Amino acid sequence: MPESAKPQRRIEHYVAPVIEEQPPTDAVRVSGKPSNLWRDAWYDLRRRPLFWISMAIVAVILLMAVWPTLFTHTSPTDQCLLANQNGGPEPGHPLGFTFLGCDIYARIVWGARTSLSVGLLSTIIGSGIGLVMGALAGYYGGWLDSLLSRIGDVFFSIPYILAAVVVMTVFAQYRNVLTMSLAIGGFAWASTARVVRAEILRVRQAEFVTASTALGLGRFKILTSHVLPNALAPLLVLATLAMAGGIVAEATLTFLGVGMGGDVMSWGRDISDAQRSLRIAPMSLIYPSIALTITVLAFIMLGELVRDAMDPRARATR
């Protein structure tokens, strides 16, 4: 942020209450709106072109997931002709055909829904568990902290792709968006919990928390209405990055053959199917990989930009 853009700060030293109306305070902002972490971050973000580029990519992918027929009228499953096997681009089929003669572009468009829904749901599950566990551990401390932190360590120490593979094997009959998200989010929450716990420990020391206690608020009420809202900034960053992680995990599990079965379309599955004809038709593997990479890239860039915007130190040194 340029130096001149900072709101003016006037320091008034408290000497004696000569004039009753003047509040005896130190360092008050007298002009402009009160500063606020979220508003500063937004102010910083909206003038970064990368932010708008990533937002645009996310918006397009989201639109694909919600309304695929807006992008293509070719069916990804029903109009497959073996005559088109591994065929090159044709009018109306810009990316060519897969091994089974399906339109690659249509399959990419329809695959966005699986990626985004698993990514979103696993992020909600993972961040939700991480938030509750981290907040309780950090805020209440004591034996609850020890217990929850050890539980977190247990989940942290099991490699989560392997754990998800085992979970998906256990629930082999019920492979759907929900079980998949549970398998991913249920094992990915430990790092979120650690960050939330550290942040809660920091906020708990703040003076407004002491003030709330002095005012007679209940402990839980203070947690939900004063501590948590002030500890949410890192969670937003982690959630954006978890979205990228969830999308990768879905594609990886599907690629390994423990993803959703049936005729669910997924980029991971297209990549997995295409590996058999990698030597003769690399393009049917490359295109879904590009779609996957760009989507993940957009979420990672968003996460990093938001992190930089939320961190005043990073903002100053940039």
Partner 1 sequence: MLAYILRRVLQLIPVFFGSTLLIYAMVFLMPGDPILALFGDKPPSEALLATVRAQYHLDQPFLVQYYYYMLGIFQGDMGTTFSGQSVNAVLERTLPVTGRLAVMAIGIEFLLSIIVGTISALRKGKASDHVNLVVSLIFLSMPIFVMCFIAQYVFAIQLGWFRPTVGGQNDWGDLWLPAIVLGLSLYATSMRLMRGSVLDTLNQDWVRTAYSKGLPGYRVLPVHVLRNSLIPVITNSATNFGVLLVGATVTEYIFNIPGVGNTLFAATLKHEGPTIVSFVTVFVILYVLVNLVVDLLYGLLDPRIRYA
Binding site for partner 1 (CB under 8 A): 150-151, 153-155, 157-159, 161-163, 165-167, 169-170, 172-173, 244, 248, 251-252, 255-258, 271, 275, 278-279, 282, 285-286, 289, 292-294, 296-297, 300-301, 317
Q: CB of residue 304 vs partner 1: minimum separation in angstroms?
A: 8
Q: CB of residue 67 vs partner 1: minimum separation in angstroms?
A: 25
The two three-digit tokens of residue 230, written as one number: 């002030």
The two three-digit tokens of residue 150, written as one number: 């050890």
Residue whose CB is less far from partner 1, 79 or 289: 289
Do 186 and 152 contact (CB within 8 A), yes or no?
A: no
The closest of 119, 71, 63, 157 to 300, measured between CA atoms, is: 119
Chain position carrying tokens 């940039």:
318
Ramachandran assignment for 104, one of left (phi > 0), alpha (psi -120 to 50 degrees), beta (any other):
alpha
Residues pairing with 10 in the sheet: 28
Residue whose CB is less far from partner 1, 31 or 157: 157
Q: CB of residue 199 vs partner 1: minimum separation in angstroms?
A: 21
The two three-digit tokens of residue 93, written as one number: 């089929």
Q: Tell me which amino acid residue 261 is.
A: G
Residue whose CB is less far from partner 1, 169 or 224: 169
Residue whose CB is less far from partner 1, 217 or 304: 304
Residue whose CB is less far from partner 1, 28 or 170: 170
Q: CB of residue 116 vs partner 1: minimum separation in angstroms?
A: 15
CA 159 to chain centre: 20
Q: CB of residue 41 vs partner 1: minimum separation in angstroms?
A: 20
